[in-house]
Amino acid sequence: MTIPEKNIYPRTGDKHTVYLKDTITKPNISVGEYTMYHDFVNDPVDFEQNNVLYQYPINQDQLIIGKFCSIACGARFLFNSANHTLSSLSTYPFPLFFEEWGLNRDSVTDSWDNKGDIVVGNDVWIGYEAVVLAGVTIGDGAIIGTRALVTKDVAPYTIVGGVPAQPIRKRFSEQTIDALLAMKWWDWPKELIAKNIDAIQNGSLERLRQITG
């Protein structure tokens, strides 16, 4: 894939890390500003091909990723066409091979169960080789552990891990989580974020509250 290098590589001399938004070409994938993807195995520019799997136009399913997310090498998003229907007496995808079985071409999507889009919030960290399945929503500030298999929604600011992924703990108190979700610092202008990086990194919630009133 040939993509202009402007804005893609945020670190001088590092071709393993990209701002993901600037590599996306497909209309059914949406990525927010400053979300980064790191890949030391494949070219990170090929994220659409290597990491977004079974997302076929016939389903019109969406991958929506928010701002300031960190996605580690090998993380994958598996869409609906990876499923085989469980409502049939057989899991064999007969409608997919409509020509062989004399079926209606329009019935192809009956081969699998459609569980919906994958939605990833803002400031989410997805660990090495984690897998997120179709229909899952990951809340703002969540952390997905290394090689976790995410089959269910993840609440904001929750750490999950394992196969299948289970909650490990909340990152902060409910009061702090509510405050962060209300202030949505990731939507601030770049200049305001830059001015308050110390407060964000050091957990100075009161200082951030002064900004938002």
143 φ, ψ to 5°?
-125, 130
The single-letter DSSP state of residue 123 is S
Residue 6: what pLDDT? 55
Q: CA geometry: angle at 167 spanning 126 and 55, to 5°?
A: 45
The mean per-residue pLDDT over the stretch 174-178 comes to 95
Choose, from 76, 84, 115, 170, the residue flagged as catalytic.
Answer: 84
Alpha helices in the chain (DSSP H): 47-51, 98-101, 174-183, 190-195, 197-201, 205-212
Q: CA geometry: angle at 199 spanning 194 and 205, to 5°?
A: 130
Residue 1: what pLDDT? 44
Domains and CATH numbers, the chain: 17-171 (2.160.10.10), 172-213 (no CATH)
What would the pLDDT profile of 78-130 be if each residue is shown by its tens digit? 999 999 999 899 999 999 999 999 999 888 988 998 999 999 999 999 999 99
The whole model's pTM is what? Answer: 0.92
Give catalytic status of residue 84 as yes or no. Answer: yes
pLDDT tier for residue 2 given thresholds of 50, 70 and 90: very low
The mean per-residue pLDDT over the stretch 56-70 comes to 95
| Choice between 82 and 5, residue whose per-residue pLDDT is larger | 82
The mean per-residue pLDDT over the stretch 200-209 comes to 85
Q: Is the pLDDT of residue 213 over 90?
A: no
In angstroms, the CA 187 to CA 208 distance is 13
pLDDT tier for residue 209 given thresholds of 50, 70 and 90: confident
Residue 3: what pLDDT? 43
What would the pLDDT profile of 124-150 be if each residue is shown by its tens digit? 999 999 999 999 999 999 999 999 999
User: What's the mean per-residue pLDDT of the chain?
Assistant: 93
Cβ contacts of residue 10 below 8 Å, gap of 6+?
Answer: 17, 18, 19, 36
